[in-house]
Amino acid sequence: MVVEKDIEEKIIGKKKPKKLPKKMPWFMPFMCDGCGDCVKVCPQGGIKLLGLERKVPSAWLIYPDYCIGCAKCAEACQSSAVQMTSYVEKAIERYKTKKPFQ
Ligand code: SF4
Ligand code: SF4
């Protein structure tokens, strides 16, 4: 699926890492205050605020395949709504199959 990959990389404007990171962020929507700080610091541009129509939106990793595990999102979050986890594959599956308000 080279074409699909190319389109996704064009959208996000970043390269997909060749290997899975050792850790991934685990976003906890119920603790998120929607400040957007994690969105700003992610070097891969993979985090977005979802539910902007709501009083409090929630950050979510919408491009988990692009995460390099740098932990900048977790460091930036003042609400402790992001923790790094070693359950990388489980986290990727979660981001691909669920959304914060489901
Ligand atoms: S760990 Fe780094 S690359 Fe992954 S979502 Fe957080 S800031 Fe982005
Ligand atoms: S930095 Fe924390 S509180 Fe702010 S949007 Fe990201 S996860 Fe939510």
pTM over 0.75: yes
DSSP secondary structure of 25-76 = EEE-GGG-----HHHHH-TT--EEEE-TTSSS-EEEES-GGG-----HHHHH
pLDDT of residue 2: 54
* 20-42 per-position pLDDT tens digit: 999 999 999 999 999 999 999 99
Ligand 2 atom closest to residue 36's alpha carbon, by position in its atom list: 5
pLDDT of residue 38: 98
pLDDT of residue 11: 81
CA–CA separation, 65 and 32 (whole Å): 22
Q: What is the best residue among 39, 60, 79, 83 to mutate for testing ligand 2's pocket, by most ligand atoms within 8 Å of CB? A: 79
- The token duo for 92 is 């990727």
* 38-92 per-position pLDDT tens digit: 999 999 999 999 999 999 999 999 999 999 999 999 999 999 999 999 999 999 9
CA–CA separation, 59 and 69 (whole Å): 16
pLDDT of residue 62: 95
Which residue's CA is minimally distant from atom 8 of ligand 1?
42
pLDDT of residue 80: 97
Ligand nearest to the CA of 51: 2
What CATH topology corresponds to 21-97? Alpha-Beta Plaits (3.30.70)
